Structure 1
Amino acid sequence: MARGGINKALVQKARQAILARGENPSIDAVRVELGNTGSKTTIHRYLKELEDADRSRNAASIPLSEQLANLVSQLADQLQEETQATVAQEREQLARERLDYQSQIRQAESRIQELESQAAALAEQLQSAQQELQQAQQQRQQAEVENARLQQANRDQEARLQDRDGQILSLEEKHQHARDALEHYRQASKEQREQEQRRHESQVQQLQLEIRQLQQTLIVKQDELTRLNRDNERLLSEARQLQKDQRAQQLLLEQKLQTLEVAQSALATAERKKDTMKERCQTLQEEVARLSEINASQAEYSQNLQERLGEAIGQMKLLGHKPPADSSGASST
């Protein structure tokens, strides 16, 4: 169900109760009397209607100067109440916005701290990945050096074998009787060479397998490093956006403060206008008093003239002369 609002009768009753206590029936006082219900705009409208009705009833019996003074006072009070209501609403709105802004700032600071923690953790992971990558590169370089050494040893071995074959051929020509022994030696040397070659090929294959594994590990680490860089860029972008939002909130707060300063300046101007109107009212009251004194002086002077005229008419009667006609056209008998 909708809540019932206030009406003019309730406002009139509250106003009369405040006047009976000898207090000023302002908007805030009437609202307190009504139990802090009703909008200030509605209360102000009803109070204005009631005050206009009172002024219309009392206009015939109140002098013009007093009506003017009451009107000036009422206008000044109304202007002050409206200004105070506007300033109070602006202050409440500013307080709510300040609380919202402070809450947003705290949330932004918490988010920034969280992002900084994440960035530090990502930096540590990046540093660890770089160290692992550096170690893998070192191992790869060592493997390449070892592979080059083994290849050079193979070439040296082949060169020595070739020299040995030449020496064997020369010995066959010179030493025919030692051919059988030389053939046996060559066979043994060949088998040894094949064994060494097979062992060398096995070592080369093992090193190639290790190199492929290291390359795969390097690719994985590079992918992780790329992902970490993307995450770091995203976090930095979010941090810059939060800082931008914080600057926008700060600018909005400064604008609200400027609005409050303008309202306070308007209130000070209204106060100065009120003082000016009071001075003008006092001047008018002094002028009315001076005119009243002049009017009384003229009335006294007119009365003196009437008395002197009466004395002159009496003297003329005593002398037997006909008195002149008075201002109303009647003659004395």
Structure 2
Amino acid sequence: MARGGVNKAVVQKARNDLLARGINPSIDAVRIELGNTGSKSTIHRYLKELEAESKPTSQRDSLSEPLTTLMSQLLSQLKEEAHQSVAEVHETLRRERSAVQQQSAVLESRMRDLESQYSNLAQQLHTAQELALREQQQRQVVEIDNARIVQSLVDLEVRLKERDERIRSLEGLHQHAREGMEHYRQASKEQREQDLRRHEAQTSQLQAEIRQLQQTLMVKQEELTQLNRDNARLVTEARQHQKNQHTLEQILSQRHQEFESARSALADMKHTNDKLEQQCQALQGEVARFDEAYAGQTQQVENLQERLVEVTDLLKLFTKISPPENGLAPEKSD
């Protein structure tokens, strides 16, 4: 008796299901169809009985033709569905790859634009820094000139003080000479007149020098005023250039962030493209395995057709040999 509930009806159903799928109903195939239950000896015995029972019913040629037609239809439908599935998978992969390539091209173009903008902004920043450096140098030169002018003014003031002291000293000498001349008026009238003229000449010369120094001082003060104005203008321009430089640095930082974002997006797209390539290779492997399975099923169908032809020939031969009234083969005599 069959173990685990395996009986002849169950084995017959499994055998018919395997034949309908175009699979050879071997002992192992039937046992797998039954869920790996039942002993191989029991399944073998039932299969022999079923083959023996199916031989008389297979004497009619009309049974092989529907089975062959069914198998041909199943084979044609399987082949058509396989080709259609493979074509759909290839088309889907082609569209995805084309979309990824387009996105990659757009990102690469954007990255080149950002690199160009980055280079331009860096050049502008370099130019602004050079301009600021030149303005700083000019401001230092102006400050040095201002210091020199201030020193000149200080020197002029010192010289004026010295002139004033000299004038006071001359006035004292003049007063002393006048007093002396009072004492010696009668005796040295001519000498006093000469001294007086000399003193007046020196006073006139000193007054001329004082006026010249005062004019020089006014000119230097005007130059100092103009220099202060130029210095204020340069300071204002330097502040404006510093503001422009700060703005350019902010724009450069923003462009650099956009450049890094574009580079990250491009890396993500390349990673996605690699994943799609791996999926494509996996699908191609599945297609190859499907083709191998399809070739194996085709070979099984061809073997089954050959077996059907052999069985049909044997049935025809058996029909010719057997008596028509009972359809049973004559027993061999010992």
> 232, 236, 260: which one pairs with 1:216?
236
Query: What are structure 1's unaligned runs of at least 5 residues?
Result: 1-59, 310-333
Show the counterpart of 1:103.
102
> Does 2:296 correspond to 1:303?
no
Bigger relative contact order (CA 8 A; separation at least 6): 2
1:58-73 correspondence runs (5 A): 62-63=62-63, 67=67
Mapped partners of 1:101, 1:282: distance in 2: 44
CA shift, 1:200, in A, is 1.9
1:70-219 correspondence runs (5 A): 74-176=73-175, 177=177, 184-219=204-239
**Percent identity (aligned):** 28
Mapped partners of 1:261, 1:143: distance in 2: 74
Mapped partners of 2:79, 2:206: distance in 1: 124
Mapped partners of 2:259, 2:69: distance in 1: 62
Question: Does the Cα contact within 8 Å between 1:76 and 1:274 map onto a contact in 2?
Answer: no
Report the count of equivalent residues. Answer: 247
Larger Rg computed on CA atoms: 2
Q: Report the 3-state secondary structure (helix = DSSP H, G, I; strand = E; otherwise coil) of the residue aligned with 2:330.
A: helix
Question: Does the Cα contact within 8 Å between 1:65 and 1:285 map onto a contact in 2?
Answer: no
Q: Deviations over 1:89-136 (max 9, x none)?
A: 222222223333333333333333333333333333333333322222
Q: Report the 3-state secondary structure (helix = DSSP H, G, I; strand = E; otherwise coil) of the residue aligned with 1:303.
A: coil
Mapped partners of 2:103, 2:331: distance in 1: 87
| Structure 1: 4+ residue segments shifted above 6 A | 285-288
Mapped partners of 2:329, 2:76: distance in 1: 44
Query: What are structure 2's unaligned runs of at least 5 residues?
Result: 1-59, 178-195
CA shift, 1:189, in A, is 4.0
Q: Deviations over 1:213-272 (max 9, x none)?
A: 111111222222222222222222222222222222222222222222222222222233
Mapped partners of 2:231, 2:307: distance in 1: 113
CA shift, 1:280, in A, is 4.4
In structure 2, the CA distance between the partners of 1:280 and 1:87, relative to structure 1 (3 Å rule), is: closer
CA shift, 1:206, in A, is 0.5
Question: Does the Cα contact within 8 Å between 1:105 and 1:246 map onto a contact in 2?
Answer: yes
Mapped partners of 1:86, 1:279: distance in 2: 21
Question: Does the Cα contact within 8 Å between 2:107 and 2:262 map onto a contact in 1?
Answer: yes
Question: Does the Cα contact within 8 Å between 1:115 and 1:239 map onto a contact in 2?
Answer: yes
User: How large is the Cα RMSD of the aligned pairs?
Assistant: 3.7
CA shift, 1:208, in A, is 0.7
CA shift, 1:273, in A, is 2.4
Mapped partners of 1:62, 1:192: distance in 2: 144
Paired amino acid for 2:134:
Q
Paired amino acid for 1:264:
Q
CA shift, 1:184, in A, is 4.3
- Could you state the TM-score of these two structures normalised by the residue count of structure 1? 0.60
CA shift, 1:145, in A, is 0.9
- Could you state the TM-score of these two structures normalised by the residue count of structure 2? 0.60
